[in-house]
């Protein structure tokens, strides 16, 4: 005989209530209490390069995936971004939703906000777009280098450099040179990280948020906290920044010119 019951909160000890009318469970009997395995509890998400995450965050992720599953038939649900950092210093929760048909994005956000009290930033894409991004775009690689996914996915892809795409990405980081005094620390960090990701990608280096942060610290002799708090000496920083930007830009231009010549030959 098996009895299913819920754990109730008590004043001194939590407890499980079972009916008096029961066979084989007399008073004084020893029993084993264990979680009831259901479809929701047996499907565990996949962790990619996550060394530590608070149990409360895992609970939030499981509930969040359950909410999305009831709304859309998603190919995968991937959690990334600052939510996975240790502590609770995040503004919203970043989600990559793999779906062939675009669901009602605002409705999903509202359901999550109403039920969990958390703001979300959701990117919806097809699986083929995700795979292409991982092979051609260093920002995809950085974003998904550390994540939690509902289903297993192939992270490692063969590089195929798209120099025109990199040129567009690098152009964003030029804003730091032109608008240094008007940007806050977080905005500066984002633009620096964007440039260093492209710089490392062109050197065929492995890309992750941790690796990029280490390279930023090494190149500029600044820790990430100093940058985010906007504690940067402009002249010294921009001199180093412009050197790396020019080296990265020159490599991209050479790549674009080479690709153009190859197309003419073919």
CA 95 to CA 119: how far, in whole Å? Answer: 11
Chain-centre distance for alpha carbon 112 = 17
User: Which residues have a Cβ under 8 Å from the Cβ of 174 and sit 6 or more positions away?
Assistant: 245
Kindly state the tokens that stand for 247. 């080296």
Summary mean pLDDT of the chain: 87
Residues 6+ apart with CB under 8 A from 67: 108, 111, 112, 115, 116
**Averaged pLDDT, 125-138:** 86
Flag whether pLDDT at 183 surpasses 90: yes
**Tens of pLDDT along 21-70?**
777 778 888 888 877 655 444 468 899 888 888 988 999 999 999 999 98
Measured CA to CA, the distance from residue 140 to residue 144 in angstroms comes to 6
Give Cα separations from 141 to 41, 131, 205, 249 (angstroms): 30, 10, 11, 20
- The answer to whether the beta carbons of residues 221 and 214 sit under 8 Å apart is no
pLDDT for position 157: 65
Confidence of residue 113 (pLDDT cuts 50, 70, 90): very high
* Percentage, residues of the chain above pLDDT 70: 95
Is it the case that residue 5 has pLDDT exceeding 80? no
Q: Are the C-beta atoms of 176 and 234 separated by less than 8 Å?
A: no
Give me the domains of the chain, ranges plus CATH numbers: 46-149 (3.30.460.10), 163-265 (no CATH)
pLDDT tier, 228 (very low <50, low <70, confident <90, very high otherwise): very high
**Interatomic CA distance for residues 83 and 183, integer angstroms:** 23
């Amino acid at each position: 005989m098996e009895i299913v019951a819920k754990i109730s909160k008590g004043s001194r000890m939590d407890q499980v209530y079972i009916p008096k009318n029961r066979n084989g469970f007399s008073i004084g009997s020893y029993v084993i209490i264990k979680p009831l395995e259901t479809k929701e509890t047996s499907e565990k998400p996949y962790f990619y390069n996550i060394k530590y995450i608070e149990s409360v965050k895992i609970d939030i992720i499981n509930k969040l995936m359950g909410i999305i599953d009831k709304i859309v038939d998603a190919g995968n649900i991937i959690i990334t971004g600052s939510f996975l950092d240790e502590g609770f210093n995040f503004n919203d929760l970043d989600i990559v939703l793999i779906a062939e048909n675009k669901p009602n994005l605002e409705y999903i956000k509202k359901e999550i906000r109403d039920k969990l009290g958390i703001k979300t930033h959701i990117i919806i894409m097809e699986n083929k777009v995700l795979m292409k991004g991982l092979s051609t775009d260093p920002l995809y690689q950085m974003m998904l280098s550390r994540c939690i996914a509902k289903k297993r996915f192939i992270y490692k892809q063969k590089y195929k450099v798209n120099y025109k795409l990199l040129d567009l990405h690098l152009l964003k980081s030029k804003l730091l040179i032109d608008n240094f005094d008007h940007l806050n620390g977080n905005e500066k960090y984002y633009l620096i990280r964007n440039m260093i990701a492209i710089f490392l990608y062109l050197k065929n280096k492995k890309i992750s948020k941790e690796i990029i942060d280490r390279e930023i610290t090494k190149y500029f002799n600044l820790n990430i906290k100093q940058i985010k708090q906007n504690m940067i000496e402009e002249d010294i920083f921009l001199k180093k920044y412009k050197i790396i930007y020019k080296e990265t830009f020159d490599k991209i231009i050479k790549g674009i010119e080479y690709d153009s010549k190859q197309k003419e030959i073919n």
